[in-house]
Structure formats: structure tokens, C-alpha cells
Amino acid sequence: MVRRNPAIAELLQLQEDLNHLLCDLTVRVSGEFLGSANHWVPNIDLSEDTHEIVVKAEVPGVAQADLEVVFQEGYLQIRGEKRQPSHGDKVRYLCLERGYGKFYRTIYLTIAVDIGSARAKLAGGVLTIMLPKLSNRRKQEKIIPIEIS
């Protein structure tokens, strides 16, 4: 019989909570965290392989024309607006939980990327940004020729 240690489950939950908190620390809007009823923040996945960094952001209901991806000085910023559908006076909401409004999400990248070859695509409510890595020139050995003057 396998016994489960409740302390391990609590530690795993704490680790998950800390990971989420650290990820949220990259969210900046004029120095504030987005969290009020008027704003929403898209969830992201950030991954890498040997060739590129991939950012996936959940942006359901956001049109391509309302999205902008900017990379500057090591920061990748996803900006946009999720517009609330206009129903006029015909509809009275009984419950309104989905977030609408302007947002941006900033991610600091410590890895050098080839921004000229970056690509982004929007499909199924997920914005996928692919940033090819630059080769790490510091790890390469290069013999520097010595000139005689």
C-alpha cells in the first residue's frame, strides 16, 4: 500500500503557486498589475528548444488587428484589446465573468534572439511568437591572428 505524504502535496502546490507568481511579476501596465474587473491579462507559456524561444499567449476573442507584438532592448511586449460585444439596451447581463479591455504583457528575455527572423501567428485564440536564438558567440573558440607591425 502506497502512503501519500500530505506535506509533499503542499510543497508541490507551493512550488506551483510560486512559479505562477514569478511569471506574473513580468506583467506591467504603467507600474501596476492588471487584476481589476476592467482589465484582463492573457495567460502565457514560455518555452525554448535548441533553436528558438516560443511564447504562446491565450487571446481568445481578440482580433489580429487589435494585437501588437513589440521587441525592444530584451523585452517582448504583447499589447492588445479585447473588445466587449455591443448589444445596446437589448441585453441585461445576469453574470459577466469574461475580461475585456486593453492589456499588455511584458516578458524579459535573457537569451539573445534574432529579432529580424521573428514570426508570430494567431490561430484558435492562441498567439504564438517564435524567436530564433542567436548562436552563443561567447562559447565558441576563435583564434585571433596576430599581426606583425
CATH code of residue 121: 2.60.40.790
Instruction: Report the alpha-carbon distance of residue 74 to residue 53 in Å, rounded.
Output: 13
Instruction: Report the alpha-carbon distance of residue 71 to residue 61 in Å, rounded.
Output: 23
Q: Decide if 107 is inside a domain.
A: yes
pLDDT digits (tens, 9 = 90+) for 65-116: 999 999 998 999 999 999 888 877 788 878 877 888 899 899 999 889 999 9
Q: Decide if 40 is inside a domain.
A: yes
The reported pTM is: 0.66
Q: Decide if 148 is inside a domain.
A: no
Q: Decide if 137 is inside a domain.
A: no
- Which DSSP letter does residue 36 get? S
Per-residue model confidence (pLDDT) at position 100:
85
Residues 79, 84, 88: CA angle, nearest 5 degrees: 155
Q: Of all helices (H) and strands (E), which one includes residue 123? A: strand 119-123
Domain holding 99, by residue range, is 6-86+93-132
Q: How many domains does the chain have?
A: 1
Q: Decide if 147 is inside a domain.
A: no
Q: Decide if 141 is inside a domain.
A: no
Q: Decide if 139 is inside a domain.
A: no
Averaged over 30-35, what is the pLDDT?
Answer: 41
